[in-house]
Structure 1
């Protein structure tokens, strides 16, 4: 039995994070890949990553990926409220650093 497509499959969102970071997140039609593009201070940065996805509630998805740099990103997307709770980790001084953030999503027209 195959899982239904996640509601974000084939869609693009502007993701605005509470720390001022902004990303354009374009999800593949099958919901298994994400191409994120940094905006503002992160302009010019982008990556295409494989996703791990689980639906955790109505219109709510736990989504996680690992970037080539070693950054790990996990977030819960609430598509009904257009909000995100994100946790990412990266190598910092003295070891691995984790950050918890909130953010909003705005659908981008095709």
Structure 2
């Protein structure tokens, strides 16, 4: 039996975060990879990353990845309401730092 593709597979979204950050997130056709591109102040930054995914409920997905820089990102994407809860962590001067944010998705 073949698992169903994630609802975000093969799609691109503009992801706008409550702190003003914005990204263009393009997901591979099979839903296993993400290419994120920074917009605005983050313009010019991008990376292709493998994803860890799990279905939570119809249209709701948990997605996580680790970037080359050591930043970890975890999303709960609600494709029904086009909203995201995101938690990212990075190594700060005094240890690991984490932030929780909300954001919106706009199909691109």
TM range (shorter): over 0.9
| Aligned match of 1:70 | 70
| Aligned match of 2:53 | 53
The separation in 1 between residues aligned to 2:29 and 2:75, in whole angstroms, is 19
Root-mean-square deviation (Å): 0.6
Once the 2 structures are TM-superposed, how far is the Cα of residue 75 of structure 1 from its aligned partner?
Answer: 0.8
Ranges of 4+ aligned residues in structure 1 off by more than 6 Å: none
| Aligned match of 2:38 | 38
Secondary structure (helix, strand or coil) at the match of 1:75 reads: strand
| Aligned match of 2:105 | 105
Once the 2 structures are TM-superposed, how far is the Cα of residue 91 of structure 1 from its aligned partner?
Answer: 0.5
- TM-score (norm. length: structure 2): 0.98
- TM-score (norm. length: structure 1): 0.97
> Which consecutive residues of structure 1, in runs of 5 or more, have no partner in the other structure?
none
| Aligned match of 1:13 | 13
The separation in 1 between residues aligned to 2:93 and 2:15, in whole angstroms, is 27
Secondary structure (helix, strand or coil) at the match of 2:25 reads: strand
Q: Deviations over 1:44-78 (max 9, x none)?
A: 00000000000001100000000000000001000
Count of residues in correspondence between the two structures: 108
| Aligned match of 2:23 | 23
| Aligned match of 1:4 | 4
Secondary structure (helix, strand or coil) at the match of 2:34 reads: strand
Once the 2 structures are TM-superposed, how far is the Cα of residue 29 of structure 1 from its aligned partner?
Answer: 0.2
Once the 2 structures are TM-superposed, how far is the Cα of residue 2 of structure 1 from its aligned partner?
Answer: 3.0
